Structure 1
Amino acid sequence: MIKTIENSNGIVRFAFKDAIKNLEIEKKKDSLIFLHFSYGGNRFKYSTGYKSCFSDWDFDKQRIKQTKSNIINAIEVNEFLSKLENVIKKEYSRLIAEQAVVTNVTLKLFLDNYLNKNIVIDNSKPKTFFEFSDEFLELKSKEISIITKRSYKQTLLKVKNYGIEHNEKITFNTFNKSFVLNFIEYLQENDFSHNTISKHLKNLKTFLIEANQKKLINTIDFNVKDFNFTPEETTAIYLSENELNQMLELDLSDKKHYELARDIFLIGCYTGQRISDYNGLTASSIKKINGRDFFSIKQKKTGARVNCPITKEIKQIMDLRHNGLPPKKILEKDLNKYIKKIGQELKLNQKIECIKRKGGKEIKEYISKSELIHSHTARRSFCTNMYLKKMPVFDIMHFSGHKTEREFYKYIRIAGEQRASHIVDSGFFNI
């Protein structure tokens, strides 16, 4: 008997509801974005709920343009589209593996459940801004991390406290330019840093965009652009290859908790991953490709799959202290605490000038390099060291997961003189 094996992935594409030839005439006209899923000779179409226009759409990537787009939440929408693509492929593969009957009805039911569209919401009374925000946050829980959800809740608490202290009832129509200026001043008076204020305004903007789309905001004074508050570049350091080698060779056998933190941190330095991806690798993460060992990692933030080579240093760490396996996971707060102590033992005492704005004032202080080391230093160290070794930027981005060069270059932590020398060494100048 001849059998055919059905493609267990299916094919996903995103396209507009309206005909392209019509949108090309009216390039600024919004049109709904639909998910099109082809499977086993069938086609399934599903509205994403988001709109874009011909001018803002990248037809090759099937995503909203992030650099020149007028859509302020383009990154958020693109991440949503990627998650939608991943979950429907995963669900289809599961159904095929279980030899279940797959129909458009089952796929629609699955996506409706995934997006909580089947939840019945009580509309018997008008919602307050905070009721709406709590409900919206609950609906987004499947899409965001626990840390992000906590950050959103902190923002809502700040807005609530602002209303209490100013004897002002917070409604959907509260959020105008005057509110933004007063809210910024309130946070500055409470000694919050420039970047913390930027974070809270960005979080608040997420709720307001959704509320505005649902036409819950009916004041003409509302403009989401008023909530733009550009964060300042933070003082962040990287560890050179020489410093990483010193850390690797440091004897910490009498301090097992330090040793574990050091080993996990170094794996981050050699893979370029976020702590959510490099802390907690297991035996199942190891994959052999063309005879070489890799960590196969599905990045938690983006959902992208990346294969990171297991370097000689990583292999040394696993073989000497962890029975050939990745180190066991520890709490991030413990890793941050211990890695600073290790930096002190390595005498990383160079004073780093740190300039920040806090309470609306610029503050300059000098902090030891060891005190600035934390979990994210690993990722910055990978990007900077590979850049200095002249690995092509797009190759580094393949591992780090950065979507744009602009975001990537924020991670390159080298002084102006060192960068100038690096550029000259690239051979572009006749010297």
Structure 2
Amino acid sequence: MKTTIERAKGTIRFAPKEPLVELEKDKKKESLLMLHFTYGSMRFKYSTGFKICFENWDSEKQRIRNKAGILDRDYINNFLSDIENEVNKECSRLISEQIPVTKEALKDRLDVFTNKTSVSNVEVREISFFEYAEIFLNEKEPIISIITLRSYKQTLSKLRSFESEKNIDLNFDSFDQAFFNSFKHYLEVQDYKKNTIRKHVKNLRVILNSATNDGINSNLKFKNRDFSISSEITTEIYLNKQEIEKIKNLDLSKYQDLDRARDIFLIGLSTGQRISDYNGLTKENLVNINKHEYFRIKQKKTGKVVNCYIEPHIREMMNSKYGGEPPKKMTEQYINNYLKQIGQMAEINEPVICISTKGGKEFKETQPKYELIKTHTARRSFCTNKFKEGKRVEDIMVFSGHSTTKEFYKYIRITEEERVSNIVNEGFYN
């Protein structure tokens, strides 16, 4: 039975070049001993230069057996340990320096280690921007949210499309002010909103900053203050208590999908969580703390665990419709479409003036409020209504996840008069 030596980033094993079942037929027949290294989908083989036979090889320990008469046993086994360590060190170095782990890179390192070649003969190849970007995403994937990962991938897709349309090769030296102006115009022509363009530029700067810190990039022109786009305050609504009651009391018994979408939305309104956290809750999320029932949620974006009180109307809804459990998950796009229908049926018709920059031009239009209702409206409504009730901002932020009060105040939708009044009521002048 073969065993493997597990590593954080790869797997190493030593085995004869010929199958053991063949060598077992002639236990004194010698076969070249090979190093096998697996890293993801990559398979790398390398000759150790030593030959072994079946009767002298311990396939469990992957070393020469401790037998009398094998004079060079310790020397060979020590060499195998050394070459194993060399592979792991080189792999770790490549990963830490954001360089792809390739067969060529490992072979070059081991050739130097075994004196098959000198360091001066090893070719050093510069890593390209897109190669680095892929490594960056692979490293970040375990620690960032799916939404953030998707955002980075979208940015890289736009950059590849830009590269193809302009018939250029983007490299680290490409990112200067001329590139920025051209890329910005390219996205504007496609009618992207200002905040969407800002998102792609911001994502690019994050990748370039990482490459700079890793010593891969030396072009710092992207740090220029003109290589950025200011954010635009978008027209986002919140639902007041009266509007929420209209939605809650709406009879949707004849419309099963609308009914479930509304119930999922009510959980969002009650907990203040993001759609990724309040859509798809199960009985596993239900906990009791000091005789009260809560949704225990690990926020996908922050990793923070929050306990959200289950209000009586939410418990009643789950009992009467879903066997005591939360409603089953629904595709976010469907929920957004259904919410607009629900808002219209609830006669949430207040006209809202919407101002946005699209394709580099400012647009102003008036829409009925129900057209602006979406899954994120639940979270914004929770924060805004709790604030207007006089709840402490720090307490609301426990659930919302905002890191600073500055960001919180930018997030909620209240008038300046309401904000000032709330600050005074909290005891600012006491």
- With the length of structure 2 as denominator, give the TM-score of the two structures: 0.69
CA contact (8 A) 2:264 2:327 kept: yes
Give the Cα–Cα distance (whole angstroms) in 1 for the partners of residues 254 and 99 of structure 2.
55
Give the Cα–Cα distance (whole angstroms) in 1 for the partners of residues 381 and 293 of structure 2.
22
Partner of residue 361, structure 1: 361
Give the Cα–Cα distance (whole angstroms) in 2 for the partners of residues 255 and 151 of structure 1.
34
Helix, strand or coil at the partner of 2:411: coil
Unaligned runs of 5+ in 2: 1-87, 106-123
Give the Cα–Cα distance (whole angstroms) in 2 for the partners of residues 429 and 304 of structure 1.
34
Give the Cα–Cα distance (whole angstroms) in 2 for the partners of residues 313 and 415 of structure 1.
30
Give the Cα–Cα distance (whole angstroms) in 2 for the partners of residues 429 and 141 of structure 1.
47
Give the Cα–Cα distance (whole angstroms) in 2 for the partners of residues 402 and 336 of structure 1.
24
CA contact (8 A) 1:286 1:294 kept: yes
Q: Residues 126 and 412 of structure 1: is their aligned pair in 2 closer, same or farther, counting only changes over 3 Å? A: same
CA contact (8 A) 1:209 1:224 kept: no
| Structure 1 position 373, deviation (Å) | 0.6
Helix, strand or coil at the partner of 2:347: coil
Unaligned runs of 5+ in 1: 1-108
1:251 corresponds to 2:231: no
Q: Residues 232 and 197 of structure 1: is their aligned pair in 2 closer, same or farther, counting only changes over 3 Å? A: same
| Structure 1 position 420, deviation (Å) | 5.2
Partner of residue 396, structure 2: 396
User: Residues 309-328 of structure 1: matches in 2 within 5 Å?
Assistant: 309-328=309-328
1:239 corresponds to 2:239: yes
CA contact (8 A) 1:188 1:359 kept: yes
Partner of residue 121, structure 1: 101
Helix, strand or coil at the partner of 2:354: strand
1:279 corresponds to 2:279: yes
Please list the CA deviations of residues 277-321 of structure 1 after superposition, one character each: whole Å capped at 9, or x if unmatched.
111111121111111111111111111111111112211221221
**Which stretch shows the higher mean deviation, 291-300 or 152-161?**
152-161
Q: Residues 423 and 146 of structure 1: is their aligned pair in 2 closer, same or farther, counting only changes over 3 Å? A: closer
Q: Which one-letter code corresponds to 1:405 in the other structure?
A: T
Give the Cα–Cα distance (whole angstroms) in 1 for the partners of residues 427 and 154 of structure 2.
50
Partner of residue 90, structure 1: none
Please list the CA deviations of residues 140-189 of structure 1 after superposition, one character each: whole Å capped at 9, or x if unmatched.
22122333222212211222222233333211111112221222122222
| Structure 1 position 422, deviation (Å) | 4.9
Q: Say how many residue pairs are matched.
A: 319
Q: Residues 170 and 427 of structure 1: is their aligned pair in 2 closer, same or farther, counting only changes over 3 Å? A: closer
Partner of residue 407, structure 1: 407
Give the Cα–Cα distance (whole angstroms) in 2 for the partners of residues 161 and 413 of structure 1.
37
Helix, strand or coil at the partner of 1:262: helix
| Structure 1 position 190, deviation (Å) | 2.2
CA contact (8 A) 2:280 2:327 kept: yes
Identity %: 47
| Structure 1 position 134, deviation (Å) | 1.8
Helix, strand or coil at the partner of 2:295: strand
CA contact (8 A) 1:173 1:222 kept: no
Larger Cα Rg: Structure 1 or Structure 2? 2
Give the Cα–Cα distance (whole angstroms) in 2 for the partners of residues 394 and 424 of structure 1.
15
Q: Which one-letter code corresponds to 2:205 in the other structure?
A: K
- With the length of structure 1 as denominator, give the TM-score of the two structures: 0.69
Give the Cα–Cα distance (whole angstroms) in 2 for the partners of residues 375 and 199 of structure 1.
20
Helix, strand or coil at the partner of 1:355: strand
Helix, strand or coil at the partner of 1:288: strand
CA contact (8 A) 1:246 1:346 kept: yes
User: Residues 291-302 of structure 1: matches in 2 within 5 Å?
Assistant: 291-302=291-302
Partner of residue 195, structure 1: 195
Partner of residue 217, structure 2: 217
| Structure 1 position 377, deviation (Å) | 0.4
